[in-house]
Amino acid sequence: MSDTRIAVLVLGKIHPRVLEKLGKQFDIISVERDDGPKVDAETAARIRAIAVAGGLNAAWIDAFANVEVIANFGVGYDGIDVRHAASKGIVVTNTPDVLNDEVADTAIALLLNTLRQFPKAESWLREGRWVKDGAFPLSPFSMKGRRIGIYGLGRIGLEIARRLGPFKVQIGYHTRSPRDSLPYDYYSTLKEMAQSVDTLISIVPKTPETHKVINAEILSALGPQGVFINVGRGWSVDDDALIAALRNGTLGAAGLDVFYDEPNVPEGYLSLPNISVLPHVASASVPTRDAMADLVADNIIAWFNNGNVLTPVPETPVKLKA
């Protein structure tokens, strides 16, 4: 460790590629999240950047007076107190775009798994039931003729829509305002869309406005042939309402990659036959996670090399350093 090199705080676990890349130019100070911001004053004064995968509250930010940039591993950054960082002139970055394709691919795969029950069919074969019990039962649903509504049409939502096109389904979307020049039906409210489609794919971020908006009313509007897919945030789903709708037939099926209190998954989901669940793996491939790690490191490197970053979040607009 050099007293002349800039120090970067790495909070908790992070992709090893981040450490490898940053370690070539900076001193790495690794701290466990549970320890609290306990670093000696001399080291704390040298820390001018933070790399993190997960939350970062005001107390952590205030503990390091010379921090200039916080680089988050992930697109969502709701766990970081961005407003507080901005008030102190700190730039916050995330990792958009590099995972768009992977998450969109997962959304389509999860939809197909939910409709056609492919994981169950594979288990049927592996368990020898094809020989013992005969053909796997017909799947109750199909992609054919589906009317699909996408809740959230940002970068990933658009990629999902583009992938759905070749399936010859109808596509609509709901966002706060319509997107110009898109060949998809726009719905001004989530309820209006749920009443008009039979499949709802949620890809919205965690905000106060999206908290448990997928509720009993929305699920009922989708109907007994309806399917709900979530690759956004578990925060947006009322778990009790969804479990009840799946159990009593108000909703046909659901596919979930995200949950409200990860990694804790409500037991009610696991006993249901009409749900497909994944352990938040939408971006979990080696190439995509490598690209995310590179972007975390590259944002910090760019800031200290040329006074700018590659992917600032909108709450902290970048101003070139003097």
The active-site residue out of 32, 262, 267, 315 is 262
CB of 37 closer than 8 Å to CB of 64: yes
The active-site residue out of 233, 247, 267, 289 is 233
Residue 162: how many other CB atoms lie within 10 Å: 11
CB of 69 closer than 8 Å to CB of 93: yes
CB of 216 closer than 8 Å to CB of 226: no
Q: Which two tokens stand for residue 97?
A: 């775009």
Active site residue 262: yes
Active site residue 233: yes
CB of 283 closer than 8 Å to CB of 86: no
- Neighbouring residues of 54: CB distance < 8 A, sequence distance ≥ 6: 11, 12, 33, 79
Active site residue 280: yes
The active-site residue out of 17, 84, 116, 280 is 280
Read off the amino acid at residue 84. Answer: H
Return the DSSP state at 264.
B
3-state secondary structure of 211: coil
Catalytic sites, residue numbers:
233, 262, 280
